[in-house]
Amino acid sequence: MIWLTWRQARAQTLIAVGILTALAIYVVILGLGIQDYYDSNIVGCAADNSCQTATELFRDKYQGSAALTGALLLAIPALIGIFWGAPLITRELETGTHKLVWNQSVTRTRWLATKLIIIALISLVLTAAFSFLLTWAVDPVDKLIGSRFAAMTFDSRDIVPLAYAVFAFALGTTVGMLIRRTLPAMAVTLAIFAIVQIVTPNLVRPHLMSPITTNVAFTKEIAQSIDGIGSKGGPQNGDSEPVGVSGYNKPGAWILSEPLNALINADGSAFTRADMKACMTGDFEKDLVCLASKNLHFSITYHPASRYWPFQWIETSIFLALALGLAGASLVRIRRIS
Amino acid sequence: METVGLGKRYGRKQALSDCTLSIPPGRIVGLVGPNGAGKSTLLGMACGLIRPTTGSISVLGGRPGSSVEQLTKVGFVAQDTPVYAGLSVADHLRLGARLNPGWDPELAQRRIEQVGLDPQQKAGRLSGGQRAQLALTIAAAKRPELMIFDEPVASLDPLARRSFLRNLLEFVAELDVSVVLSSHVLSDLEQVCDYLVILVDSRVQLAGEVDELLAVHYRLSGGRSDFDALPPTIEVIQAEHTSLHSTVIVRSTVPIPPSFPGAEAVTLEQMALAYLTRAAELPGTGYSAKALEAQR
C-alpha cells in the first residue's frame, strides 16, 4: 500500500519539490541579502546616529519581499488542501478506480490511512523546509520592523504552517469524500480554509491565553515614540471629548487594545481635549514636557513577546488535533461509501 | 452466495428489491437482465462495494468486503474495467502483487504475454479489450475463490468478446474458481454458465441450475384454441400468437400431455427470452425468487 501511495503521489510530489526548490533558492538569496544589509548597516548604527535612516531604508528594501514570501507560504497549505486533499478520494470515484483498488486484499480503512499518513508526511516535510527557511531569512525584518504576532507573519513562521498544511490536507480529503466530485470539493475546501485563515487570527488567536492589562505611564519618551494623541470624534465634539494615545508600540508584544488607548489623569478621571489644549503652545518640545508633567497614564491589553512560542505551540496543537479529528472521521466514513 | 430479502434504494429509485437467492459454490453463474435491471447493484453488493439498504448477503460464508480474508477470497472486475490511466501495465501487476498476499506472479506474467500486453504501456492508452484483459489478469492473479464480472464484454467488439470469454473459461478450468458474470446479451452467457439468474426491473424472475431449468421448460406449438384448457400444472411463461399458429413457452413439472405432440425442449436463450419478455410486458408484476422457489 505504501508503494502504491508513493507511486500515485510521485508526480505531484516531484512537481511540488521542483516549485519549492525554485522558491527556496529565491528565499536563500533574499535571506543572505537581508543578513548582509543588517550586519553592515543596522548593527552599530548607533555609533554614527544613522539608525533611523538605516531602518527606513531596510524597510523599503525588504518589507515587501518578506511579506510576499510569507504570503506564498500561507498559500502552500491551501494548495495542498485543494490539489492533494480534495482529489485524493474523488479522483478514484470519478475514474472508477476505487472499484479496482478496493477489491484488492486491503481494507478501505487501511488504504485511506496509508494515503493520509504518507501524504500528510510529505506535506509536513515540504512545508517545514519552506517555513524554517523563510523564518531564518526574514528574521532581521521581523525583529526590527515587523510584529511577530501580525496575522500574516505569525501564520507563516516556525511551526504553525506545518499544522495548517496537515489540517488543509485532511480537510480537503474529508470534503472530497462528502462531496464526491473533484471540482466542487476543491472549491469548498478553498472556501473553508480561507474562512479559517480569516477567523483564526481575528477571533481565535487573541483568546488562546488570557491577555494582560497594564497601565503605562505617559512619559516624554513614550510621547515621542507614539504616532500621536487624539480623540475618536472630530473637533466638533467639543472640549469634553476624551483623548487617547495611538500607535503605542511595546517591542515584540501583541497589543489588542488598539487603535486608541484612552489617557487617564492621575486622579483616575479621563484626560480631555480641553486638558490637552492647556498644554498646546505651538512648541512641540515644550508641549511634550507639559503633557509628561501631568502624570498621565493609559491602559493597554496585550500578549507579551514571551508568549510567541506558547502561542505557536497552542495553535499548532489545535490544528493538528483538528486534522486528526477530520482524518478519523474520514476513516470511519470511508467504510460507508457505496 | 446467499441473499435474503436483499434490496438497495438510491434516493427514490429502487435498484434491487427483495432479492432472495441461494447459489451453491463451484458454479459459473450467469446473471441476465436488461440495462438498469439491478445487475451491477447485486454484483456490487456481492463484492462489498455497495452496502445493502435492506436484507442481507453472505458470500463464501462472510459479509462482503468486511475483512481482508473476505477481500482476498473474492475477485471483482467492474463494468467499465477501470484501471489507473497513469500507471503502466507492469505497475498494475506490481499493485496486485503488493496488495494481495496470495498473488500469483507467474500466472500474471503468463497472461500478460499471452494476450500480448506491453508491460511498459500506460494503462490509459490500452484499448477496451486490452484493458479488460488487464483487469481480468489482476482479478485472477490474486487467486480468489470467487470471481465476479460485471458486464465484462459489454464494451468489447465481437472478436475481443469471444477471446475474452474463451480466456475466462480457461481460467475457470485452471484455477478452480466459482464465477458470477452478468450480461445483457444472452448469447454471451449461453456457452459458459451452468447456473442462471434472470433479473428484470429490480426483481429476480428466475434462478436455478441451467440443466434443471431446461428440463422443466417446453416449447409448445399448435392452434390458438389448443391452449385454452391447459392443466394447472403447466404455467405459461410467454405466448406468441399469429392468426393460425401459436408458440408458447411453458414451465411444467409434470410431463406434457399427449395432446401436444409438438412439445420440444427449449434452448437457454429461448427460455431466458421468454422470462425477459414476460417481465417487460407486465411491469411491476415480476415473480419474486421466493415464489419461484415455491413453485418448483
- Statement: residue B94 has pLDDT above 60: yes
A167 & A290 share domain: no
Amino acid symbol at A275: D
A263 & A321 share domain: no
- Statement: residue A231 has pLDDT above 80: no
Question: Looking at beta carbons, which residues of chain A come within 8 Å of B71?
Answer: 103-107
The kind and range of the H/E element at A157 are none
Does A11 sit within 8 Å of B49, measured CB to CB?
no
Sign of the C-alpha dihedral computed for residues B105, B107, B108 and B114 taken in this order: positive
Give B180-189 pLDDT, tens digit per residue: 989 877 777 8
Asked if residue A101 belongs to a domain, the reply is yes
A197 & A241 share domain: no
Asked if residue A302 belongs to a domain, the reply is no
What is the mean predicted confidence (pLDDT) over B194-208?
A: 90
- Statement: residue B294 has pLDDT above 50: no
Contact between B265 and B187 under an 8 Å Cβ cutoff? The reply is no
Give the gap in angstroms from C-alpha A102 to the nearest C-alpha of chain B.
Answer: 8
Asked if residue A303 belongs to a domain, the reply is no
Does A102 sit within 8 Å of B82, measured CB to CB?
no
> Is the CB of A109 inside 8 Å of chain B's CB atoms?
no
Range of the domain at A273: 219-295
- What confidence score (pLDDT) does residue A32 get? 92
pTM assigned to the model:
0.88
Question: Looking at beta carbons, which residues of chain B come within 8 Å of A3?
Answer: 94-95, 98
Burial of B163 (0-12, 13-18, 19+ CB in 10 A): middle
Give A290-319 pLDDT, tens digit per residue: 777 778 888 888 888 889 999 999 999 999
What is the predicted ipTM?
Answer: 0.85
Asked if residue A301 belongs to a domain, the reply is no
A261 & A122 share domain: no
**Reported confidence tier of residue B221, pLDDT bands at 50, 70, 90:** confident
Asked if residue A139 belongs to a domain, the reply is yes
* Count of domains observed in chain A: 2
A244 & A316 share domain: no
A205 & A225 share domain: no
**Whole-angstrom Cα distance, residue A101 to residue B92?**
10
Give A173-184 pLDDT, tens digit per residue: 999 999 999 999
**Reported confidence tier of residue B291, pLDDT bands at 50, 70, 90:** very low
Asked if residue A214 belongs to a domain, the reply is no
**Whole-angstrom Cα distance, residue B30 to residue A338?**
24
Nearest by CB to B82, from A97, A104, A107: name it.
A97
A37 & A135 share domain: yes
Give the gap in angstroms from C-alpha A96 to the nearest C-alpha of chain B.
Answer: 6
A12 & A36 share domain: yes
Give the gap in angstroms from C-alpha A318 to the nearest C-alpha of chain B.
Answer: 34
Contact between B125 and B118 under an 8 Å Cβ cutoff? The reply is no
A135 & A279 share domain: no
Q: What does pLDDT average to over chain B?
A: 85
CB–CB contacts below 8 A, A to B? 75
Residue A15, φ and ψ in degrees, nearest 5:
-60, -45
> Is the CB of A1 inside 8 Å of chain B's CB atoms?
yes
**Reported confidence tier of residue B295, pLDDT bands at 50, 70, 90:** very low
> Is the CB of B101 inside 8 Å of chain A's CB atoms?
yes
Give the range with max mean pLDDT: A177-186, A228-237, B217-226: A177-186
Asked if residue A159 belongs to a domain, the reply is yes
Does A106 sit within 8 Å of B47, measured CB to CB?
no
Query: Scanning every residue of chain B, which has its alpha carbon at the shortest distance from the alpha carbon of A4?
Result: B95
A183 & A264 share domain: no
A43 & A170 share domain: yes
- What confidence score (pLDDT) does residue B65 get? 87
Does B83 sit within 8 Å of A336, measured CB to CB?
no
The contacts of residue B285 (CB under 8 Å, 6+ apart) are none
Q: Which residues pair with B62 in a beta bridge?
A: B59
Question: Looking at beta carbons, which residues of chain B come within 8 Å of A97?
Answer: 82-84
Asked if residue A300 belongs to a domain, the reply is no
Nearest by CB to B49, from A95, A97, A99: name it.
A99
A29 & A106 share domain: yes
Query: Scanning every residue of chain B, which has its alpha carbon at the shortest distance from the alpha carbon of A95?
Result: B82
